[in-house]
Copies of this chain bind each other. A is one copy, B any other.
């Protein structure tokens, strides 16, 4: 087997489909967009689609499949959403019930699949422009915090926005706003810069998810809407059944990050 880092998205999806890769996906298929997964029964689908439409920063939709469909169309022409993700979480009434490597046996004809943009895409663009991404430098998971910013509710879905934090020097803050503004479909521009308490964060040293990172003298914390938000909101709404990717175990698409960029 070639080093997996040299494989194309299609080759990696094939390995995953055959059960030969069930580990996290960061640094795989560099240059290609990865996606968060949320699968819900049809009775929740309109409300969740509406929630995403109302909250595009935490919930940027890349592709939505029709009820019962498990093959992607625009993100990849041949992918099977039931097998092509390294690890799935199965939630019943908001509680994690099982982790699976394949969900073919769980599939229902009324399942609606949502694929949402992931910050890996804009982090790659930041690094290319020499904007440091601290948690990558330090080999950690990005620090994530629950804020007091309320998402706009839709039907049964509501809850606070979760943000990820990256510390930057002021000059780099400006560059980071410019760069991430180009990537609206993967969370886009930051939602806050500076004082964490202004958005309800008490302690930057104790993130609600992920790991704390070093903040150097003179650096300002910069906060982006985070892909954990839709999952947190879905768990809060406690649908009978919901299947997501396991954290860090993303869907790898055929779409280049650059294809997602605007001006």
Residues of A within 8 A of B (CB): 42, 45-46, 49-50, 53-54, 61, 64, 66, 73-74, 152, 154-155, 178, 181-182, 184, 262-263
Q: Shortest Cβ distance from A220 into chain B, in angstroms? A: 20
Candidates B66, B178, B182, B263; contact of A154 at CB < 8 Å: B66
The reply to whether B53 and A155 form a contact with Cβ atoms under 8 Å apart is no
Q: Shortest Cβ distance from A73 into chain B, in angstroms? A: 8
The reply to whether B53 and A61 form a contact with Cβ atoms under 8 Å apart is yes
CB-defined A-B contacts under 8 Å, sample of 14: A42-B46, A46-B46, A46-B49, A49-B49, A49-B53, A50-B64, A53-B53, A53-B61, A54-B64, A66-B154, A74-B152, A178-B263, A184-B262, A263-B263
Known: A73-B152, A181-B263; 16 extra A-B contacts, CB below 8 A, are A45-B46, A46-B49, A49-B49, A49-B53, A50-B66, A53-B61, A54-B64, A54-B74, A66-B154, A66-B155, A178-B263, A181-B262, A182-B263, A184-B184, A262-B263, A263-B263
> How distant is the Cα of A13 from the Cα of B39 in the complex, in angstroms?
41
The reply to whether A50 and B50 form a contact with Cβ atoms under 8 Å apart is no
Residues of B contacting A66 with CB < 8 Å? 50, 154-155
> How distant is the Cα of A50 from the Cα of B45 in the complex, in angstroms?
10
Residues of B contacting A45 with CB < 8 Å? 46
Residues of B contacting A49 with CB < 8 Å? 46, 49-50, 53
Residues of B contacting A50 with CB < 8 Å? 49, 64, 66
Residues of B contacting A154 with CB < 8 Å? 66
Q: Shortest Cβ distance from A187 into chain B, in angstroms? A: 14
Residues of B contacting A155 with CB < 8 Å? 66
Q: Shortest Cβ distance from A215 into chain B, in angstroms? A: 27
The reply to whether B46 and A53 form a contact with Cβ atoms under 8 Å apart is no
Q: Which residue of B lies closest to A112 (CB)?
A: B46
Q: Which residue of B lies closest to A45 (CB)?
A: B46
Q: Shortest Cβ distance from A19 into chain B, in angstroms? A: 32
Residues of B contacting A74 with CB < 8 Å? 54, 152
> How distant is the Cα of A46 from the Cα of B46 in the complex, in angstroms?
5
> How distant is the Cα of A49 from the Cα of B181 in the complex, in angstroms?
25
> How distant is the Cα of A73 from the Cα of B73 in the complex, in angstroms?
33
Q: Shortest Cβ distance from A27 into chain B, in angstroms? A: 28
Candidate in A45, A64, A178, A182 with the most chain B CB atoms within 10 angstroms: A64
